[in-house]
Structure 1
């Protein structure tokens, strides 16, 4: 208990310090993203990855907080995915490469002895989908980090209920590191997660949940997983539906995510993140209660129904790119008429 508190405190302070130190090198090296006409350095995710692996590794090496069977391999796989994400931040790899690498890493960490072949394959699909969904959440200042912290505490609570103390400590350290990063990522952000941090976040959380739910039936596991990943999955579903209906490429970036549409309704950037963070907390709480048996699986239907309702409503909100297209067409028509 005392080590967990000390480790989390150290992770928070180290991540906050390292994120601040990496900002200038990222700007000088050109590892940046364009967000609202400003250059956002993208090495904040590297700070989260390094601190999480360092603190967890110290606990494993000293024997004070051993991670447990299979968890060390999970951390190594998550770090490998993060390393490839860092390469993508620097050299802009194709999305299919990130998908394939994430799938290979997921194949290496799923506990097939407890899940079975079918459950293992579904677990791999879940890890890949959740990792990409968290990558998509990194479209607004503070959003991916906020949802990641809330989800980490939820998965950590599920791990603690299964007496997976090492995994629970790992997730608390990771949540603390993300919190330290959020000190610099809240709007207006001074540093971002990038592919490195967002893929690491999604992979670590989703694979940890697969470990926690191993041995349970597939139906209840799917229900818990949908609750714990509700916001990220809703965002991914919204983007996919919007781009399919508009016949736009699925993997091309655009201002059509949850936070973008909420801002079109008049919410401020921090307000949209707070609303989505609160929604994530509510869904995660339901998932934890279902996992621990405090409530029935029927409660998941409220979460799924609410998420689908939000997706349907926000699907009708016009995105900025669409409005720009319309205005461009109108201007062209006026020029033709006036000419």
Structure 2
């Protein structure tokens, strides 16, 4: 118990410190989010990954809080996914490349002895989808980090119910690291998540949820897993539906995500993050209550219904189409002592 508190505090402080220290090198190297109207370095994810891996690794190495074989393998696979996300941030790889690597990593951590081959493959596909959707959720200040913190606490509670102490410690460390990152990512953000942190966070959360539901029936488990990640699922469905209705390729980026549409309804950036965070809290709470047996499995249908209402309501809000960046707000990309125009892409 005491180590869990100390580990969470250490992860929070370490992530906040690293995010601040990595900001200037990220700007100088040009590692910025090109979807924004000003240069924001995508180094926050690296801070979250390093803080989580170091703090959890120390607990495993010292034996004070052993993760266990399965959780250790999960953390190792997640670190590999984070490295692939970092490569994608640096070299601007196509989205399918990091997703393929994430799928391979997911196939390596699924407990086939409990899920079976078919169930394991489906679980790996779900983990990959959540990781990709989590990366797409990183389109506004504070959004992905807030949803990540709420989800980490929820999945950690599910792990605690199953007495999976190593998994619960890992998720508490991740939640604390994300909180430290949010100190720099809350609007106006000084650092962004990037593919490194988003893929890592989505992969850990989805894989941990699968491990926590191991041994339960498939249909109730699918409902709980959906409730725990309802916000990222709603965002993904909303974007796919909107782009198909507009006749645009699904893979083409655009300002048509949850945060963009809520802003067009008149909310501020912080207001949109609070609304999405509240939605994530409500759905995660339902998932935890159903998992622990404190609520009937039918409660998940309320989450699904709310998701459908959100998608159908927000899809009517104009979100497709790129907006030009005013000349007065033209961003610059910094490389050493050279300042040059930065091409901005919405999405």
TM exceeds 0.5?
A: yes
**1:75: which partner in 2?**
75
**1:216: which partner in 2?**
216
**3-state SS, counterpart of residue 173 of structure 1:** helix
Mapping of 1:141-180 within 5 angstroms? 141-180=141-180
**3-state SS, counterpart of residue 190 of structure 2:** coil
**3-state SS, counterpart of residue 318 of structure 2:** coil
Measure, in 2, the Cα distance between the counterparts of 1:125 and 1:34.
Answer: 29
The alignment covers a number of residue pairs equal to: 324
**1:245: which partner in 2?**
245
Distance apart, 1:96 and its partner CA: 1.3
**1:335: which partner in 2?**
none
**3-state SS, counterpart of residue 32 of structure 1:** coil
Which structure has greater helix proportion? 1
Measure, in 2, the Cα distance between the counterparts of 1:52 and 1:283.
Answer: 25
**1:30: which partner in 2?**
30
**1:10: which partner in 2?**
10
**1:337: which partner in 2?**
none
With over 3 angstroms needed to count, the CA separation of the structure-2 counterparts of 1:96 and 1:36, relative to structure 1, is closer
**2:114: which partner in 1?**
114
Bigger mean CA deviation after superposition, 111-120 or 80-89: 111-120
Distance apart, 1:323 and its partner CA: 7.8
**2:235: which partner in 1?**
235
Matched-pair contact (CA < 8 Å) for 2:255–2:320: yes
Matched-pair contact (CA < 8 Å) for 1:68–1:164: no
**1:183: which partner in 2?**
183
Mapping of 1:1-339 within 5 angstroms? 1-319=1-319, 321=321
Distance apart, 1:320 and its partner CA: 5.8
**1:329: which partner in 2?**
none
Post-superposition Cα deviations, 1:23-74, rounded to whole Å, max 9, x if no partner, equal 0000000000134410110011001001100000000000000002311110
Measure, in 1, the Cα distance between the counterparts of 2:284 and 2:271.
Answer: 20
Matched-pair contact (CA < 8 Å) for 2:255–2:322: no
Matched-pair contact (CA < 8 Å) for 1:134–1:202: yes
Matched-pair contact (CA < 8 Å) for 1:16–1:180: yes
Distance apart, 1:119 and its partner CA: 1.3
Distance apart, 1:143 and its partner CA: 0.3
Measure, in 2, the Cα distance between the counterparts of 1:4 and 1:221.
Answer: 27
Matched-pair contact (CA < 8 Å) for 2:84–2:98: yes
Measure, in 2, the Cα distance between the counterparts of 1:134 and 1:323.
Answer: 24
Matched-pair contact (CA < 8 Å) for 1:114–1:215: yes
Measure, in 2, the Cα distance between the counterparts of 1:263 and 1:227.
Answer: 25
**3-state SS, counterpart of residue 147 of structure 2:** helix
**3-state SS, counterpart of residue 321 of structure 2:** helix
Measure, in 1, the Cα distance between the counterparts of 2:298 and 2:33.
Answer: 42
TM-score, normalization by structure 2: 0.92
**3-state SS, counterpart of residue 281 of structure 2:** helix
Unaligned runs of 5+ in 1: 325-339
Matched-pair contact (CA < 8 Å) for 1:150–1:280: yes
Bigger mean CA deviation after superposition, 36-45 or 292-301: 36-45
**3-state SS, counterpart of residue 70 of structure 1:** helix
Matched-pair contact (CA < 8 Å) for 2:155–2:205: yes
Measure, in 1, the Cα distance between the counterparts of 2:31 and 2:253.
Answer: 17
With over 3 angstroms needed to count, the CA separation of the structure-2 counterparts of 1:29 and 1:115, relative to structure 1, is same
**2:333: which partner in 1?**
none
Unaligned runs of 5+ in 2: 325-347
**3-state SS, counterpart of residue 303 of structure 1:** helix
Matched-pair contact (CA < 8 Å) for 2:243–2:320: no
**3-state SS, counterpart of residue 40 of structure 2:** strand
